[in-house]
Amino acid sequence: MITRIHASDDSRRSIGRGEFVALMAAVMSLGALAIDAMLPALDEIAGSYGVTDPNRRQLVVGIYLLATGVGCLVPGSFADRFGRRRVLWVSFAAYVGFSIACAFAPSFDMLLVLRALQGFATAGLGVLPAAIIRDRFEGDAMARLMSTIFIVFMVVPVLAPSLGQAVLGFATWPWVFIAMAAIASVVWVWAFRRLPETLDPMDRQPIDLKTVFHNLPLTLTTRTASGYVIGSSLTFGALFGYINSAQQLIGEHFDADEYFPLIFGMTASTLAVSSFANSRIVERFGARRVSHTALCTFIAIAGMQVYAALFQPGSLAWFVPLMAGNLCLLGFMGANFGSIAMQPFEHTAGSASSAQGFIRMGGAALIGIGIGQIYDGTAKPIAFALFGCSLACLLLVLFSERGKLFRRPGQARRYLAMHEGL
């Protein structure tokens, strides 16, 4: 139990486990809010700017995701030098400022530019929580805590479309951005008052090009991490493809536009359920056993998605349970994959989190944009993407694990130690 998390330069701050979990989840969820709250407003945004290409409106989400992925390279190195808190404040300020700027964008192209700047400048809100957690935890304990945080975090994707829909019920789409700025301001004040500095002064790293560019190839060349990072980008890329095209897919293909927030929230809520379950079992069975089992099951359900898209093309009764199943299984994969990939980087957690976030988010965003842009009015693109990406992810995990799945944590460490340097 966390009874006190003390700052390296401010011993007056303390925070309990429950508040720490809630705060980290709130910080991480601002990125999800910037994505999912937009979904009900995409039609109105496109209409107000005269955008006629239905797939182009997806870029309001896709560009933000891609810029966030690129931005992940920056905050970790600064956080390893100046501490976690200072970099978080810059990210909060950018989130609030660019949200307000987006509300007053004079054109659709300018809105996309502002969304790109917002995603790039606020990447720290997604990167730094992992580094903060890694400062204090490791191994399956870290995976359990990240799963617990993910439970709280997942409340936002469930509720954000309803928030956007509620705002549109009494105001125009710019007020969705104003609401985002207001919520981020509240979290900013909370973090400023309660979050201590977690970086050990002995682990401070200099900022130079050698340090910045060393950690990216290191992530890719560290075998125990690379397969999990790239594999995550593939599976979450398929998820981003679903998010990008969800409003069109559910509202137009399945003709359920008025139920979009409910259906999207219902499928997304399964992530919270699985994250809760993961937090209860991961220390008993190990992050590898749990995530490998989830990945194999994900592939089977994705195969059923392909069947449904081809032979039950207009059936929500097929699509919703299968999509919910895929999202549920991501809850057993995301936090566990992330904690496994972070284990080799104890003393450079900030830079490693940035490098991994860049690969994971940048790759996933590109894949998601590609899937969204080939949306053809059916569920086939997302179904084939889920199946293909999950199969490729399995191959990458097998690479990291040298062909051995389902090992317990101790077995994995001994096996990898024996093969160190091969």
What would the mean pLDDT of 281-295 be, rounded to a whole number? 89
What's the confidence (pLDDT) of residue 12? 44
At residue 33, does pLDDT exceed 80?
Answer: yes
In a domain, 45, yes or no: yes
* Span 126-170, pLDDT tens digits: 888 878 887 777 666 676 777 677 767 777 877 888 899 899 989
In a domain, 234, yes or no: yes
| 4: confidence class by pLDDT, cuts 50, 70, 90 | very low
Number of domains in the chain: 1
At residue 410, does pLDDT exceed 70?
Answer: no
In a domain, 50, yes or no: yes
In a domain, 356, yes or no: yes
Handedness of CA 172, 173, 174, 176 (dihedral sign): positive
* Number of Cα atoms under 13 Å in the Cβ half of residue 149: 26
What's the confidence (pLDDT) of residue 47? 92
Amino acid symbol at 178: I
In a domain, 221, yes or no: yes
At residue 174, does pLDDT exceed 70?
Answer: yes
What would the mean pLDDT of 38-63 be, rounded to a whole number? 91
* Span 309-345, pLDDT tens digits: 999 988 999 999 999 999 999 989 988 898 888 888 7
| 393: confidence class by pLDDT, cuts 50, 70, 90 | very high
Q: Which of 96-110, 209-223, 323-337 has the least mean pLDDT?
A: 209-223
State which residues form the domain around 377.
17-198+206-418
CATH number at residue 311: 1.20.1250.20
Extract the tokens encoding 34.
């910037």
In a domain, 2, yes or no: no
In a domain, 147, yes or no: yes
Q: Which of 2-6, 212-216, 319-323 has the least mean pLDDT?
A: 2-6
Neighbours of 283 (CB within 10 A): 16
* Share above pLDDT 90 across residues of the chain, in percent, rounded to a whole number: 43
What would the mean pLDDT of 107-126 be, rounded to a whole number? 94
**pTM to 2 decimal places:** 0.77
